[in-house]
Amino acid sequence: MSRTFENQGLKKSGKSRAVTQMAQLIALLQANPKVGDIFGNVKLVERLAKLAAEKGAGMAITPELIISGYPPRDLLLQPDFVNQCYNAGKEINSQIPLLVGSPLPSEPRQRPGNGVIRCGNGEGGREVTRKQLLPTYDVFDELRYFSPDNRPGIVRSMSGLDFGVTICEDAWQHAGLVPSDYEVDPISQLAGWTGQGVAEKGGDRVLVARCAAETLDHPFLLCNQVGGNDDLLFDGRSVAAWPDGTCVQAPAWCEGFLLVDLDEPNNCEWHCLEDSDCINHGMCDLNRNDGNNEIIATESFKEPLSSSDLLNAVSVGLRDYCKKTGLEHIVLGLSGGIDSAVAASVAVRALGPNRVTGLLMPSRYSSEHSVVDAKATAEALGCEWMEYPIETMHSAAETILALELENGDAVAAENIQARLRGLLVMGIANARGAMAIATGNKSELGQGFCTLYGDMAGGYAPLGDLWKTEVYAIAGAINLEYESQGRPLPINNSTLNKAPSAELAPDQRDDQILPPYEILDEILRCYIEENLSESDIVLRGFTKEIVRSVLERLAKTEHKRWQMPPAPRVSRRAFGQGWRQPLAAKHNWRN
């Protein structure tokens, strides 16, 4: 991602924002589309536009690629898909004019454009502009799919206003915003903003919007998508910014529309889509900044996500993955440990207790308190639970494999238990037409402390981009929710305080091999998210021996992460599309 704006420190502008013809309201349609559901997405735009018009909006703006859903990936390689998106977008039925994000067809043997259609208000839909800057980093590979444009987008006489139009990355490069190119009234941006996960509270886009508004001396409107598509999360938080630094930001994780009064920011309103399954339970409000601060990432807008916001993020990711794939029930293993307790709590938040089943699968190595704690979690959550002891299966497998296990690696014998549990979870999920979820976290996945076809089995890994320390923090947020409602806590003190263990061998604990999670998480975060070298990480206060061992385990277990389920991306860099490491490689290449 571009960091052009980060240290600009632009001061409050003395320029006037008043524009006499700005007598109407503009709606930013913060929508949650489904990739590939062209006509469903059109209906969603039409519905939001109608509701916005009823509240007084004179026009509306959608997120990037709303017609196709974002990201459509290799669907864009099918010309028929692109043409159908474009034709459907042109025919949107709306009483107010719209700027709508859609793939745009190009000449034969040329890649399509990532563009904007002007439609509605009885006008025949037509192309307005195409995205100029196509990102090819992290999870993005837009040059694979699109051809870039080389001209600024201008829309003349739209409900009495002239609009400059940018698409996501186009506004991130400060040097590319030339005031003479945009002799218009407001600047609108259609965005699918997930460039840095959701690791901060929309601070980057606030910074971009305020700097763009100050640079161009026009109001800047940024409409973002909300919801989850596969592993990508879009937190909403659409933004309206003015040249003097005034800024209004829509709530996170909520579908609806931000009604913007260009002449009076204090009149801006948020309207939640009533049946949108809002993760905030309708408790949504605007975030406002009056512009008296320097145009930098202020504390109110740019700070690490709180544990409750992380909880909302992974809950939305799991909810939308189930909703958009048509999987209405979740099955998972409940071990009595922190990860499975948090994963079960997230599943209940996402789908409700009646759509979650927990399996207790104790072995000869399971402690009595683990079974008790697992039952307590399920009962506090109100979800179904079933107990399937695996001793009979385990003994049978040991008998069949006795000759191999006698002289084999002890880990091979331990992993049989995890794979038997995976068999049960997958078997029951398949029988019920449900989805199994994996309960592993980023720390353990990063060290290979997980079993292929065992605890890694599942269609989704809701905790897969959360460090172990973040899992504990989220557990606290979950308990606070239940405590505030006067309900039993789903994650009891026994679960919170016990030493992490896979319980695959007598008296087994994670810390017998791994450093404390506070240390492990920071080493992995420095390497994965900050791209620091081994020597730079050592300078952060860690011993070379510990850093080397952590990084070597990370490299040697890459084959496991290639086979992990998708996980909702909440960090600056997650395992998956943005983490592309070789498998058949020399991993101990450091001197």
Whether residue 395 is found in the same domain as residue 317: yes
Contacts of 100 (CB under 8 A, 6+ apart): 45, 62, 66, 67, 89, 92, 116, 117, 118, 119, 125
Distances (CA, A) of 144 to 137, 232, 234, 419: 12, 18, 22, 38
* Residue 9 maps to a domain: no
Predicted pLDDT of residue 421: 96
List the structure tokens of 23.
Answer: 């007598």
Whether residue 315 is found in the same domain as residue 259: no
Contacts of 373 (CB under 8 A, 6+ apart): 336, 337, 341, 492, 494, 495, 498
Reported as a single tens digit per residue, the pLDDT across 408-433 is: 788 888 899 999 999 999 999 999 99
Whether residue 295 is found in the same domain as residue 265: yes
Q: What are phi and psi for residue 431, nearest 5 degrees?
A: -65, -30
List the structure tokens of 505.
Answer: 């061998």
Asked if 237 and 202 touch (Cβ cutoff 8 Å), the reply is: yes
Whether residue 201 is found in the same domain as residue 218: yes
Q: For the chain, which residues score pLDDT lower than 70?
A: 1-23, 157, 173-203, 280-284, 290-304, 501-505, 508, 591
Whether residue 80 is found in the same domain as residue 184: yes
* Residue 553 maps to a domain: no
Contacts of 498 (CB under 8 A, 6+ apart): 337, 369, 373
Measured CA to CA, the distance from residue 591 to residue 93 in angstroms comes to 64
Which residue among 283, 304, 325 closes a domain?
304
Whether residue 259 is found in the same domain as residue 332: no
Catalytic residue among 85, 119, 168, 211: 168
Catalytic residue among 131, 201, 324, 442: 131
Q: How far apart are the first and last CA of the chain?
A: 31
Tell me whether strands 57-61 and 25-30 are parallel, antiparallel or unpaired.
parallel
Whether residue 296 is found in the same domain as residue 252: yes
* Residue 579 maps to a domain: no
Q: CB-side exposure of 461: number of CA atoms within 13 Å?
A: 28
Range of the domain at 106: 25-304
Q: In this structure, what CATH number is given to the domain that contains residue 228?
A: 3.60.110.10
Rg of the chain over CA atoms, in angstroms?
Answer: 25
Q: Is 168 a catalytic residue?
A: yes
Which residue among 485, 509, 533 closes a domain?
509
Question: DSSP for 84-134?
Answer: HHHHHHHT---SS-EEEEEEE--STTS--EEEEEEEETTEEEEEEEE-S--
Measured CA to CA, the distance from residue 192 to residue 175 in angstroms comes to 21
Q: What are phi and psi for residue 39, nearest 5 degrees?
A: -75, -30
Predicted pLDDT of residue 292: 53
List the structure tokens of 42.
Answer: 């059109």
* Residue 521 maps to a domain: no
Q: Is 64 a catalytic residue?
A: yes
DSSP one-letter code for 463: T
Distances (CA, A) of 235 to 28, 255, 315, 366, 569: 14, 10, 12, 39, 11
Whether residue 66 is found in the same domain as residue 200: yes
At residue 168's C-alpha, the angle toward residues 164 and 169, to 5°, is 105
Asked if 257 and 30 touch (Cβ cutoff 8 Å), the reply is: yes
* Residue 388 maps to a domain: yes
Number of domains in the chain: 2
Residues β-bridged to residue 221? 188, 240
Find, among 62, 65, 158, 159, the residue nearest to 112 by Cα: 65
Predicted pLDDT of residue 216: 81
List the structure tokens of 156.
Answer: 């003349």
Whether residue 224 is found in the same domain as residue 123: yes
Residues β-bridged to residue 129? 116
Catalytic residue among 64, 142, 214, 444: 64
DSSP one-letter code for 74: G
List the structure tokens of 419.
Answer: 């794979």
* Residue 570 maps to a domain: no
Find, among 246, 280, 296, 327, the residue nearest to 15 by Cα: 246
Measured CA to CA, the distance from residue 326 to residue 160 in angstroms comes to 43
Measured CA to CA, the distance from residue 347 to residue 437 in angstroms comes to 9
Reported as a single tens digit per residue, the pLDDT across 434-469 is: 999 999 999 999 999 999 999 999 999 999 999 999
* Residue 275 maps to a domain: yes
Whether residue 261 is found in the same domain as residue 371: no
* Residue 547 maps to a domain: no
Q: Where are the beta strands (DSSP E) in 334-424?
A: 356-360, 384-387
Residues β-bridged to residue 27? 60, 259
Helices of type H across 201-355: 203-216, 307-325, 338-351
Predicted pLDDT of residue 366: 78
Whether residue 290 is found in the same domain as residue 222: yes
Which residue among 289, 304, 319 closes a domain?
304
Asked if 381 and 354 touch (Cβ cutoff 8 Å), the reply is: no
Whether residue 128 is found in the same domain as residue 255: yes
Find, among 228, 246, 247, 249, the residue nearest to 237 by Cα: 249
Measured CA to CA, the distance from residue 162 to residue 542 in angstroms comes to 56
Q: In this structure, what CATH number is given to the domain that contains residue 358?
A: 3.40.50.620
